Every structure is written in C-alpha cells, then in structure tokens.
A and B are shown apart, each in its own frame.
Chain A
Amino acid sequence: MMPSFYYETHTIFGTHKSKILQWIFSIDHKRIAILYIGVLFALFFCAVGAALTMRAELFFPGQQLIQAQTYNQLFTFHGVTMIFLFIVPGIAAGLGNFILPLMLGARDLSFPRLNLLSWWLYILGVVVALSSLVTGAGFADTGWTFYAPYSIRTDSHVLSTLIAAFILGLSSILTGLNFVVTIHRLRAPGMDFFKMPLFVWGLYATAWIQVLATPVIGITLILVILERTLGIGVFDPSKGGDPILFEHLFWIYSHPAVYLMILPGFGIISEVLPVFTRRTIFGYRSIAISSASIAGIGYLVWGHHMFTSGISDIARLIFSFLTFLVAIPTGVKIFDWLATLYKGSIVLATPMLWILGSIVNFTVGGLTGLTLGALGPDIHLHDTYFVVAHFHYTILGGVVFMFIGGMHYWYPKITGKMYDEVKGRVAFGLMFVGFNMLWFPMFIAGFLGNPRRYFDYLPTFTIYHQLSGIGALLVALGLLLVLYTFYKGLKEGKEAGPNPWRGTTLEWHIPSPPPLENFSKIPYVDFDPYEYEDGEPLVQLDENFRRIR
C-alpha cells in the first residue's frame, strides 16, 4: 500500500529533511488544508474567548468587568476575527482544500504553489490583524464594518486591521481562482458538471463570489486607508465625500460574503444527508442550481443593510423585494433536504446530528432574516439584538454547526481514525441546547428594543442577558468537548478504513488518510454522485479504479 500524505510530501523546494519545513512549505493540498484548519480553529477559540468576556460583562446591568471602550474593541475583535479570519476562509480553505480534489478525482488543485501562497497570505493577514492588539492605541473600535467617517477619525488602530482585511481578501481571491480553475479543468474524465458532488457545487458558487466580490471590498478598504493617511476625500463628508457610498461598497461585498460563508456549509449538508439516510439525495439538480442562483441573486440585495441610512424609497422597495427572492432558492434547498429525510433510513450518527441541528437553526435564522428584509419591521429592529440573534442563528447555529458536522464526517478520511460516538453526541447536545439558550432570548430583547453594540442595558433586560450568559457557557463546554473528542480520537481511535460511513463519492474510494497524490489511477466517472441500492453504495471500483459494478 502507498504511504499516506503524512509520511511523504513535496514542498515548494522539492523534498526536505526537516519535518516542520515539510509542513509549512508543502504544496500538497491536504497538508495545506490541515494547516488552515488548525489555525482557523485556534482563532475561532480566541474569538469565542472574547465573546465570553462580553457575555460576562453583560451578565449584570451596569459596568463590572471592563470599560466601555474595551467592550467596543472586544466586539470589533470578535467580529473581525470571526468573519475575516475564521468563517470567510473557513470551510472553503479548510475542508474544501482537503476534499475538493478528492471529490473530483484530481491529484491536487490546479495551482498547488498558488495554494501555498494563499496560505502564507492568510497567515500574514492574521499576523497583521493581531499585531494591533499589542501596538499603538489598541485594537480597532469600529466594529467589523469599518463605517466611515468614524473609521477615518478614530484614534484606535484601524489601519492595521484594514490592511489585514485587504491581505486576507487577496488570499481569498487566490483560493477562489484556484478552485474555479480546478473545477473546470481537473474533473475526472466522464464527470460532467451534473455528476459533481454537491459540496463541489457549493465550493464552485463560493469561488465565484470570492473572485467577483472580494476585489470590491479590497479597493474600498484601500480607499479608507488612503483616507486616513492622505485624506483623499472620497468618503470624508467634510471634503465632499459620501460615507453612504462606503456603505454601498462595503455591503456589495459583504452581503455576497454571507453566502460565501454559507454555501460551502450547504454543500456539507448535501453530502451528509444522502450518506446517513442511505439514499440518493432528492432534487440533485435543483440543489446544484439553487447554489448558483443564491450566489447570483446574493449580489443584488446589499441594500437591505441600508434601509435606515438614507437611500430612496424606490431603492428600499427594490432591495426588499430582491431580498425576498433569495428565500426561494434557499427554500428549494431546505425542502429538498426534508424530502431526502422523508422515508430515508436515518442513521443518527454525530455528523448527522450536527447537520440536522444546523438545518433547524438555519431555518430560524433565515425566517428572521425575512422579517428584517421587510421594510416595516426593519425600521423597528435595525441595530438591535434581534439582528445580532438573527446572524448568529445563521452563521453560528447554521454554518458553524455545518462546519463542525463536516469535520466529524470527514474526520476518518483526514486522520484515518474514528472518534468516540458517545462523546460526539453529548457535545452536540450541549451545543444545541446551549446555542438556543444563548441566542433565542436575544430575539426577544431585541424586539423589546435592546440596542446592539452597547456594553450596558436597561435593568428590564437582565433576565434575557442572564439566560444568554448561561447558554454561552454551555456552548463553550460543548466546543471544548468537541475538541477533546477529536484529540482522543487521534490518540485512541480505532482504524477507520477507507469508507466507514458507506459514502459514495470518490473520496471514499481511496485509503484514509489518502496517499500523497490521492489517486494512483484516475477513475472514469459514468455514475451519479449518490447512488444507493438497498442502503448500500451501488458503484464499486477495483484497485485500479476501474468500475466493476
């Protein structure tokens, strides 16, 4: 048998003796993916730490632990880290990097060196972003949205955060470019677009958003940098510039960016469901096409973030209408998933639990999103905790759940080991209960008028914040248990074998962990991605990857 990619690799300098250099200069997509995953989750835990500090401060009304300004910096740190450092690169650069070539029947991404460059740019961005924690006048206090003109005037250290966001954008563009080309060029012979696994479809839609939307935020942030350093005037009202234009440009990226976070997650759901219901996914084509149309329509709805900031009534109506349109392809997906579950022989393994949980949470997040997309309610709910609860339901309860579900699902493929099911399920239970306890009360607090981004609140809201605080603790425990489960699995888990879940997509036809260049022979793909017969995978390949059944 071929040794796995943990034992051999190629680096940008050819081969190398030192183990560490073999990792940080490896151009193997699988190693790069693991590096990403490690750093991503380290940063995630830092940001969770910041969040817990905020929740602790919010446990009682009035000021106890931290100063107001520290709170401003904390929510900015939390937001910037979660969005730019964790969830935007997140699933695509982490799991996507690992799984995409395997699913396509490719030996690597189209541009392995570019992939390494993206990784290094990512690290550079992380370092620059974090550097402002220890230098200058402290971390930015603008919130992750950097709204002008405040971001032009504040004394805090926004410059490095802006530069970091730009560098991270570059990294994200290059990853997207790499994925687009890989998907176009390196599909195994016979695999046309409608034979690709749905995770690949999610990554494909994501990659186009990365490529087309990220440059918009890139140049916009550069303009803010130039505004701060040189005073060019374009966003500075005192020089005739228009800060509303900044909001437009910011959200032209940042709304699609929301889908950039979500679509790969949807892809994970579409992988996990057929495997744990042991049947073909319902509506393959409509799921694939809805990914593409969500990405497309997602470009046209940015104005719903600006209903209250001085755009015309006509624009408000149009943006509200378009926002509702996005719900259609999203709804199509959700109904396809439900139809897959219906009469499936459901196996409630840990990945499946996370996926089901994410569907529930995401549905709540999505429906409250429609509430916000309607003009009347938004005027009332804008910048309240209702909004904060809404996006945590979609991103934390939805996408992060999907991400963690995916991590469990591909854990045996990546490590070659199994984790402990019982611990996995308990961790999920903690998280699911904790999460809903954490954010559901915030819908109510927000509805009753508790504004967001404040380190304090009126005593009437105390009960909601305290419930929320306890929920946050459960969430933190759940996360730690996930981590512990993975760690234990590495140490003591039993061998997983190539296909522990009886999956059908190509990555389950190769050893776990995969060898350096994945496939000794490239298969010919004349089958659909999810074909089951009596609960067993229909297609079988022999050791030369020739189809025997």
Chain B
Amino acid sequence: MEQEMAYDRQGKSYPVADFKDDYSGDKLGFWVFLLTEGMMFGVLFLLYGIYFYRHTAMFAFSSADLNIWLGGTNTVLLLISTYTMGVATLMMRQGKLKLSAMLVGLTIFIAIVFLGIKASEWGVDISHGIYPGSKLLDAKDTGEILFFGLYFVMTGLHGLHVIIGIALMSWVLLLMRSGGIHPEHTIVMKNVTLYWDFVHLIWIVLFPLLYMIGV
C-alpha cells in the first residue's frame, strides 16, 4: 500500500500514521500493558515486604520448608527458556523460519516442565496439609499463615502467567504456519517474547523471596 500523505498550506507533504499495521503502536501498546502487569505484581511484592518486615523470623522459618532444589531447577529452566525464545526471534528475523519454530516449540516444552515441577511442589505441600485455609496451617503462627498465603498466591498468579505464555506461544506457532508471522512482520513474535521475558523476570524476583530467605 502506498504511504498516505497530508499537505500543509505550502503543499509540503507529511506521512500519515494509520491504525492498521502500526508497528510502533503495537510495540508501545505492549509495553504499556507490561506496565500494568508490573503494577499488579508490585502490589504483591509490597504486601510481601510489609509482612516480611513484621514477621521476619517466621518467614525465614517457613521458607526453609520449601524445596530449594526444585525451585532452583525451575529458575534455571526459565532462564534457558527466555534464551531459546529470544534466539527464536533472532532466527525469525534472519529468515530461518524452521529453526525459529523449533525453538518456540522448545520453549513451550520447557514451560510445561516448569509447570510440572511447580505442580509437584504444590502437591507435596498440600499432601502435608499445608494450603490456605487448612486446619494445620491455621493452627500455626500468624507469620507462617501469611507466608504460605502469599506463597500460594504469588506462585499461583505466576503459574497462571506461564499458562497464558504457553497459549500465546502456541498461537505464535500457528501464525508461523499460516504466514501471519514472517521475517517482515514479527511484531506478534516480539511482543510474545517480551511477555515471556517478563514472566521469567517475575520468577527471578520470586525465587529469592520465597525460597532463599530460609537458607
């Protein structure tokens, strides 16, 4: 399509930005969206900070109950997955479609493993009777109740984001097949990569807060 122009009184022409296929607009929009996500997790971090300040000892004590090895493995997994997703975008830009699609697939796979590990961790806690509202937990010190309350909320919300990420990446794969994403049109790919970066960044903060303070 031809670039549309607007003309001033002297007849000079200026390019008009259109709402269709506006690359910079799509990018800006996604950054603004990530800002809202940041505000949302920010509230949880704030709550965590306040209760940590009030119940420091109990938070450290409860944190020691979590399996740092599983959490650590998950951290490494997410680190690798942002790498694969990032390289996938690079390959896409270089026109290596097949490779790019494979890397996205790999990222999805890692994300699923992450969820599996997370689910098994939750499973162990729950089988020990530790979950929000359980009799066992509610009988404990308030610091512990608050720690586990926040633990389940924060990892739960993060897990939800991982699930959404998986859905988005699968959609990317579909788009690649149908030609909705190609080396000249990568905005969706870039935004999903950005999203995945964000999800991993959140985990990088969550991991020390939840798992490492008890070490």
Q: B40: CB under 8 A from chain A?
A: yes
Report the Cα distance A188→B36, complex, angstroms.
28
B146 pairs with A185, CB closer than 8 A? no
B142 pairs with A524, CB closer than 8 A? no
Q: A216: CB under 8 A from chain B?
A: yes
CB-CB nearest in chain A for B35: A211
Report the Cα distance A129→B22, complex, angstroms.
36
CB-CB nearest in chain A for B144: A240
A245 pairs with B32, CB closer than 8 A? no
> Chain B, interface size: which category?
35 or more
Given contacts A216-B43, A220-B43, A240-B146, contact A230 B133 (CB under 8 A): yes
Stretch at the interface among A109-117, A287-295, A410-418: A109-117
Stretch at the interface among A231-239, A453-461, A473-481: A231-239
Q: A522: CB under 8 A from chain B?
A: yes
Report the Cα distance A233→B29, complex, angstroms.
35
Query: What mask results when residues 518 to 549 of chain A are scored 1 for a CB within 8 Å of chain B, else 0?
Result: 00011110100000000000000000011100
A233 pairs with B145, CB closer than 8 A? yes
B8 pairs with A526, CB closer than 8 A? yes
B32 pairs with A180, CB closer than 8 A? yes
Query: What mask results when residues 167 to 193 of chain B are scored 1 for a CB within 8 Å of chain A, else 0?
Result: 000000000000000000000000000
CB-CB nearest in chain A for B32: A177
Query: What mask results when residues 1 to 37 of chain B are scored 1 for a CB within 8 Å of chain A, else 0?
Result: 0001011110000111111001011001100110111
Report the Cα distance A177→B143, complex, angstroms.
38
Report the Cα distance A186→B6, complex, angstroms.
13
Complex interface: chain B residues within 8 A of A546 (CB): 7, 9
Stretch at the interface among B72-80, B91-99, B147-155: B147-155
Query: What mask results when residues 108 to 142 of chain A are scored 1 for a CB within 8 Å of chain B, else 0?
Result: 11111000000000000000000000000000000
CB-CB nearest in chain B for A177: B32
Selected contact of B146 from candidates A109, A239, A521, CB within 8 Å: A239
Report the Cα distance A108→B20, complex, angstroms.
9
Complex interface: chain A residues within 8 A of B138 (CB): 231, 239
Given contacts A181-B28, A186-B19, A188-B16, contact A239 B43 (CB under 8 A): no
Shortest Cβ gap from A159 to chain B (Å):
15
Q: B55: CB under 8 A from chain A?
A: yes
Query: What mask results when residues 29 to 58 of chain B are scored 1 for a CB within 8 Å of chain A, else 0?
Result: 100110111011111100100110001000
Q: List 8 A-B contacts (CB under 8 A).
A: A110-B22, A186-B18, A188-B16, A189-B16, A214-B36, A215-B37, A233-B132, A233-B145
Q: Which residues of A approach B to under 8 Å, CB–CB?
A: 106-112, 173, 177-178, 180-182, 184-186, 188-190, 211-216, 218-220, 223, 226, 230-234, 239-242, 245, 249, 521-524, 526, 545-547
